[in-house]
Each structure stands twice: as C-alpha cells, then as structure tokens.
Amino acid sequence: MQKKVVGIGEILWDVFPEGKVLGGAPANFAYHATQLGLEGYAISAVGKDDLGDQIWEVLKGKPLQYRLEETAFPTGTVKVTLNGNGIPEYEICENVAWDNIPLTNEMKELAKQADAVCFGSLAQRHQVSRATIQAFVGLVSPKALKIFDINLRQSFYNKAIIVDSLNMANVLKINEEELVRVAELLEIKATDESQICKILMDDYDLNIVVLTRGENGSYVFSKNETSFLETPKVEVADTVGAGDSFTGAFAAGLLNGDAIAKAHKSAVEVSAFVCTQKGSMPLLPSGLLK
C-alpha cells in the first residue's frame, strides 16, 4: 500500500510576466512526492471564480489527489519577478481563499491516515487557516513525518507561529536566510549555522533539520549523523518550487525506506532538475523516478 503524504496550506497562481503557473509550497510538495511513488494530497481552498475554476482544471491533469474547499474569498495569486540569477521575489495577495481553509470531517480522517504532512508559516498568517493547519497536524500520528517547511515570506510570520509550528513538527526544513531570521526571533546567540540547527533540534525535540544553502550546498542533521552535499551546477530557468521539490523527494526517500544520506541525495538531484524548468510542477525525468 502506498504511503499517504499531505501538503496543507496555500494553493495559488504564480503570476510571471509571461503568464501564470500553478503553485503553492504544500501543493508542490505533494505533487513531487506523488511522482516519486507516494499517494500525495494537497489540502487548500479556492474561490468561486475563474481562477479557482482554472485550478480545478489544471489539477485534473496532475498525478495528485486534492481536497480543495470553495470559499467566498478570491483564489490566491502571487506576482513573481525573477532577478538575473532566476531567484524569485514575491508579492502575495492577502485575504484570499487559502487564508480561510475550513477544517472538514474528510480532512480529519485523512490526517489520521497520513504517513507525512508538510506545512509552512505562510498559510498560518490568518487565524482561520492557522487553526485548521494546527488541528490537522495534531491529528497526524506521532510516528509520521511532520515537516515544518518554514517558507518565510514578506512579513507574514511571527514568533508565535514559528514556535507553535516547531513544537508540532519532528522535521524542520529551512534555508540559510531563514535560519538567521529564526535565530534572531528566538534569541539564539550562536552564529554558526550547524550550531543553530542543533540548538533548534534540541530545544524543539526535532528528529531532523534540513538546511538548504542555495548554490552553496545543503545539510541534513539528525541525532546521530550529518549529511552534506554540494549543489549541482545547472542552467537555472527559475528556482520557484525547487525547495518544495527537495522536501517532497526527501520525504519520499525516507518513507520508501532510504537512509538519510540516500534520501538527501535524491532531494538534491530532484531540486536541481526543477531549477532547470519553468514553474514549480514539472514532470520529472525517468532517471529520477527510482
């Protein structure tokens, strides 16, 4: 039986100058985990509008299951601009459908069956979705992977959201810029990245901390080991969704029984490929679908 993984939070349109593509970190995570052999679900909300209808249409063609609620709020959009290195900057619309995800009985049942859940800080910026996400994660088995893929965006986070999320999680995924901001918020005095990660692991009883450092490689810290891998040199189209694909591939590796180092290698390879493609949900080549 396939392992069930859930990404809960935002689903939206990433609007580039040349057009829009489907995105949202939790949906991206579930999509890539599905490509790698898991039964992935995206939980979010859309509006009763044309943009929401278009999300339903696009998802019909994706290898992904979804639980989307329709709300009276507009479907979410994000204006994305890329700098010269393909690094995105985001302008995120507020008070949209994914800020108002209701908790349904169907979601509660799925939570109890989940082998992994991935959630971030962005979709917790509004109290409705925050309550839904925290209730959902609370229903997931303690034996499952509970991945806090922090995804700090603009000013849509605070210390309380981060602390609550760390306390719910057993895996933290964070990048080097976010690590600095989190250390400041939590008043961690250490300056060495590895030391900060280990303090977070100890203070919040995390099993794993994943630190991605862009072109400067990535670390996976666990209680007993440290894995470091260089970032492959690729021709970058854009990096939108690359971190989400990393998380999805890493979770898939662990749930498929891989050791941490092997799951880390798969995550690096998948995210490097996604960087060479436009948009956050490309089809992975057969060589990566091991």
Tell me whether residue 68 is exposed, middle or buried, using C-beta atoms within 10 angstroms of its C-beta: 0 to 12, 13 to 18, 19 or more. Answer: buried
Q: Is 256 contained in some domain?
A: yes
Q: Is 71 contained in some domain?
A: yes
Residue 238 has pLDDT above 80, yes or no: no
Residue 147 has pLDDT above 70, yes or no: yes
Residue 143 has pLDDT above 90, yes or no: yes
Q: Is 288 contained in some domain?
A: no
- Which residue, among 23, 13, 251, 257, has the nearest Cα to 118 in the 3D structure? 251
Per the structure, how many domains does the chain have?
1
Q: Is 235 contained in some domain?
A: yes
Query: So what's the pLDDT on residue 7?
Result: 98
Q: Is 286 contained in some domain?
A: no
Q: What percent of the chain has pLDDT over 90?
A: 78
Q: Is 195 contained in some domain?
A: yes
What is the C-alpha to C-alpha distance for residues 21 and 41, in angstroms, rounded to an integer?
19
Contact 172, 199 (CB under 8 A): no
Mean pLDDT calculated for residue range 142-168: 95
What is the C-alpha to C-alpha distance for residues 66 and 43, in angstroms, rounded to an integer?
6
Query: So what's the pLDDT on residue 236?
Result: 85
- What is the pLDDT of the chain when averaged over all its residues? 93
Task: Please give the C-alpha separations between residue 202 and each of 162, 166, 176, 213, in angstroms, as whole numbers.
Answer: 16, 11, 19, 21
Q: Is 92 contained in some domain?
A: yes
Q: Is 233 contained in some domain?
A: yes
Q: What is the extent of the structural domain holding 118?
A: 4-279
Q: Is the pTM of this model over 0.75?
A: yes
The domain spanning residue 230 has which CATH number?
3.40.1190.20
Residues ≥6 apart with Cβ < 8 Å to 75: 12, 13, 46, 47, 49, 51, 52, 55, 96, 97
